[in-house]
Amino acid sequence: MENVDEARTLISNTSADSSFQHQDLYLALRTLPPKERSAITLFYLNGYSIKEIAKITDTSEEAVKKQLSRGRDKLREQLRMDKG
């Protein structure tokens, strides 16, 4: 998930075939702490900006950036474990 556009496409594609194909990603999302899962979902699935997410979640933009970074790192690690 190095490329933000790739991640957005991957998470936001919701057809039945795609959902099955990306089942590991959806299961990995469920393992994230709530704040990180919310930030990832709002940013990639719903297309909100960091500024908008900060306002929605009543946190700072810096906190949102950290949540996104930690969430991406945890997803990446979880998906590696699932493949190994």
What's 76's domain CATH number? Answer: 1.10.10.10
Structural domains in the chain (count): 1
C-alpha span between 49 and 31 (Å, rounded): 23
C-alpha span between 12 and 75 (Å, rounded): 15
**Residue 76, domain extent:** 4-83
Name the pLDDT band for 79 (thresholds 50, 70, 90): confident
DSSP state of 3: S
Name the pLDDT band for 65 (thresholds 50, 70, 90): very high
Q: What is the pLDDT of residues 20-53, one digit of tens each?
A: 556 888 888 999 999 999 999 999 989 999 999 9
Residue given tokens 């493949």 in the structure block: 83
Name the pLDDT band for 2 (thresholds 50, 70, 90): very low
C-alpha span between 51 and 17 (Å, rounded): 33
> Among 53, 79, 46, which residue's Cα sits nearest to residue 67?
53
pLDDT of 63 above 80: yes
pLDDT of 10 above 60: no
DSSP state of 48: -
Q: Which amino acid type is present at position 7?
A: A
